[in-house]
Amino acid sequence: MITGLRAEEYIQLPGVLRFIRRVAADLDRGKSAIVVFPDSVVESGLADAVLQDLAREGTSVAFCHESAEPFPSRVLATFGADPVREPAFAEWDTLINWDAWHGSWVLIPAWQHADIGEIVDRWPPQLNACGLPLEDRPKLVIAARLADLARKKIAHVDRNGVAVHWWWGVVDRLDTELRLSAKSDAGLNPVDAAVIVEVAAWDIGCIDFLLAEWDRTVSSLPGVLSQYRQREAACDFSVAQGNHRGVTSPPDDLEQHWRDGMVDRWGHAIRRAVRAMSEADLAQRIWMAHNRVLTQYVDEERAEYEQMIRGKASQSALKDLQIRDDDIIEIGSLAWLVSTRRVDIGRDDRERLTAFRDLRNELAHRRFVGDELMRRIRGYLGF
């Protein structure tokens, strides 16, 4: 779902630019291309903006003339020729040999042309039979929704002459992080930044909403996101994450949700849109953010306290511990030595060690950090 951003803003995201350049690279290599968009991206106008940007990548590019005439006649009209005066090329079998469009890219949005199925059926055989050098072949860029072009037909296209690109995983973590960086101020701490990135994921418009409306406590997030979801109808469905990693197109069982802008690939996994996110999804995303930022600090604190406690503890006290094979003492064991008074490190250090022990336990059990503990941790880390 495209929410809160203009199509022109999406076009500037690195992932979108990379997608456009991948399509252009295939065209430069002499292939035609089918670009498959979800309905939501077409309805928002973003698909048209992508095609406009793609057009700027070529040297001889034209959008196919819109009319009820057969495709060969539309091609002639696209390049200013009169089909009546060019009868030798106004047929499918001869069109590809028309010199005037050789080396050109012809963009064909399927939502403006009713005969996309016929074009996809007939174009690859034309490429195979033409005998033209790759650089002279005209290239078709067919942009389609699955409502325009059946998935089965796309799957059987001859990939030797036609590349297929799905709008799937186009917006990735870097895009989300860059949008947040551009919109946030210097006061946003790394934990809150990570939460916004994980929660919004590919739903870039949610970033601006969270920056403006969220008070930075995890307890308030469900209510804030409920306000955001009120903009659109909610949807509930399951995503079997483990079965879908690494796919290059939306899985069959999520196809309709992808078409509706409810699901996409982001960060090497499939993510639901914010408006389709469950309570369990939200809890997991918050935990992932906390874990990504804070785990490193747990180990730093553990290492410092281990050094301090080893210098104070007796050998008999250390004998009671289960020390790892690498001779590291876990933070839980360090906190146990202090809490049982086997080692005295002072109240302030004891409270700090306990806080990081609790933080480690929450993260290790895949639980996000509550507001009170997070307040203490931020204080210790200076966030």
Q: What DSSP assignment string belongs to 280-345?
A: HHHHHHHHHHHHHHHHHHHHHHHHHHHHHHHHH--HHHHHTS---TT-PPPHHHHHHHHHTTSS--
Residue 236: helix, strand or coil by DSSP? coil
Place of tokens 């070529």: 58
Burial class from Cβ neighbours inside 10 Å (0-12, 13-18, 19+) for residue 195 reads buried
Indicate the SS3 state at residue 106.
strand
CA distance 265 to 33: 21
Q: Are the C-beta atoms of 195 and 289 separated by less than 8 Å?
A: yes
Per-residue pLDDT, 177 = 96
Domain boundaries, the chain: 7-166, 173-277, 293-381
pLDDT tens, per residue, the chain with 383 residues: 455 668 888 899 999 999 999 999 999 999 999 999 999 999 999 999 999 999 999 999 999 999 999 999 999 999 998 877 777 788 898 999 999 999 999 999 999 999 999 999 999 999 988 889 988 999 999 999 999 999 999 999 999 999 999 999 999 999 999 999 999 987 899 999 999 999 999 999 999 999 999 999 999 999 999 999 876 555 555 555 555 555 889 999 999 999 999 999 998 899 999 999 999 999 999 999 999 999 999 999 999 999 999 888 888 878 777 666 677 889 999 999 999 989 999 999 999 999 999 999 999 999 999 999 999 999 999 99
Q: Are 143 and 182 in contact (CB under 8 A)?
A: no
pTM of the model: 0.89
Total residue count of the chain as it appears in this document: 383
pLDDT value of residue 142: 98
Structure tokens given for 133: 């050098």
Alpha helices in the chain (DSSP H): 7-11, 14-28, 39-43, 46-55, 71-78, 92-95, 116-130, 151-155, 173-183, 190-200, 205-213, 221-229, 255-259, 279-312, 315-319, 331-339, 347-364, 371-381
Distances (CA, A) of 258 to 23, 265, 383: 21, 10, 38
**What CA–CA distance (Å, rounded) separates 49 from 61?**
15
CA 290 to chain CA mean position, Å:
20
Are 231 and 3 in contact, with CB atoms under 8 Å apart?
Answer: yes
- Cα separation of 168 and 250, whole Å? 7
The predicted structure's pLDDT at residue 3: 56
pLDDT at 85: 77
Report the alpha-carbon distance of residue 120 to residue 153 in Å, rounded.
Answer: 8
Give Rg (Cα) of the chain. Answer: 28
The tokens describing 204, both together, are 């870039």
In CATH, 7-166 is 3.40.50: yes
Using alpha carbons only, what angle is made at residue 254 by residues 205 and 259, rounded to the nearest 5 degrees?
50
Paired tokens of 103: 């080396």
Tell me the pLDDT tens digit for each residue of 280-320: 999 999 999 999 999 999 999 999 999 999 888 888 878 77
Give the pLDDT score at 131: 87
Q: 152 — alpha (psi -120 to 50), left (phi > 0) or beta?
A: alpha
* pLDDT at residue 232 in the model: 57
What are the structure tokens assigned to 164, written together? 């297929």
Give, as one character, the DSSP assignment of residue 139: E
Cα-based distances in Å from 246 to 147, 169, 241, 242, 269: 25, 10, 10, 10, 7
For the record, the structure tokens of 234 come out as: 């909610």
Alpha helices in 79-115 (DSSP H): 92-95
At residue 256's C-alpha, the angle toward residues 250 and 259, to 5°, is 75
